[in-house]
Amino acid sequence: AQSVAQPEDQVNVAEGNPLTVKCTYSVSGNPYLFWYVQYPNRGLQFLLKYITGDNLVKGSYGFEAEFNKSQTSFHLKKPSALVSDSALYFCAVRDASSNTGKLIFGQGTTLQVKP
Amino acid sequence: SAVISQKPSRDICQRGTSLTIQCQVDSQVTMMFWYRQQPGQSLTLIATANQGSEATYESGFVIDKFPISRPNLTFSTLTVSNMSPEDSSIYLCSVSTGTRISTDTQYFGPGTRLTVL
């Protein structure tokens, strides 16, 4: 069965410091991986995805994520956090063999960036 | 990407009643999906809305409780029937705009926040 784990309910960083939001996954086949962000009272916004190719994926708002097949991880990173990055972040996975489009989401990680 | 709107944005309903949520997209899309986000929880797929045919439901979700319509390529509705407080959630519509479902990005609407008393 497919699953996604985000081991941290909350991550706290100071503005200007690098941030990492962790994600590990489990799929039977090859994974397609996604990161979304949810601001209060808003829908999910797409940040980036890994399908194939370079393991380091760059996305919106300066975010990037690194696919690590051996560790089955897809951690979200940003070199310098902004207060406006404070939000709820979701990692999601889809099995490459899927013909349904179904995404499996992690539990979410709240990022708090303090001035 | 796509611009997705949902109506209503929020509602407070009495138990035993039904609510229909609308999802409108600004362009024709191949796939539309309905997700539920229970308070403090992650997102769970309810069903895939298929244009011109019945929706495909995930395990644990049934058509009698969550009837779905998709009359065309830009519009879908989700009805939450015979509501109970356990149905209090955010309901999100999402769309896939490409032709290769396995690699396509899903874009989400703003959600409908439902509270059942």
Question: A40 is in which domain, residue-wise?
Answer: 3-114
- Please judge whether B43 and A42 are an interchain contact, meaning their C-beta atoms are less than 8 angstroms apart: no
Residue of chain B minimizing CA distance to A6:
B42
Looking up residue A83, the CATH number of its domain turns out to be 2.60.40.10
Mean pLDDT over all residues of chain B? 93
Rounded Cα gap, residues A58 and B9, in angstroms: 32
Instruction: Check whether B30 has a pLDDT greater than 90.
Output: no
Query: What is residue A59's DSSP assignment?
Result: -
Residue B101 has pLDDT above 80, yes or no: no
Q: Where are the domains of chain B?
A: 4-116
Q: Inspect the interface and report whether the beta carbons of B45 and A103 lie closer than 8 Å.
A: yes
Instruction: Give the tens place of pLDDT for each residue, A62-90.
Output: 999 999 999 999 999 999 999 999 999 99
Q: Does the beta carbon of B56 lie under 8 angstroms from any beta carbon of chain A?
A: yes
B102–chain A nearest CA distance, Å: 6
* Number of domains into which chain A is organized: 1
Rounded to whole angstroms, the Cα distance separating B116 from A114 reads 35
- Give per-residue pLDDT as tens, B47-79: 999 887 889 999 999 999 999 999 999 999 999
- In Å, how far is B80's CA from the nearest CA of chain A? 19
Q: Given this model, what pLDDT does residue A87 score? A: 96
User: Which CATH class for the B4-116 domain?
Assistant: mainly beta
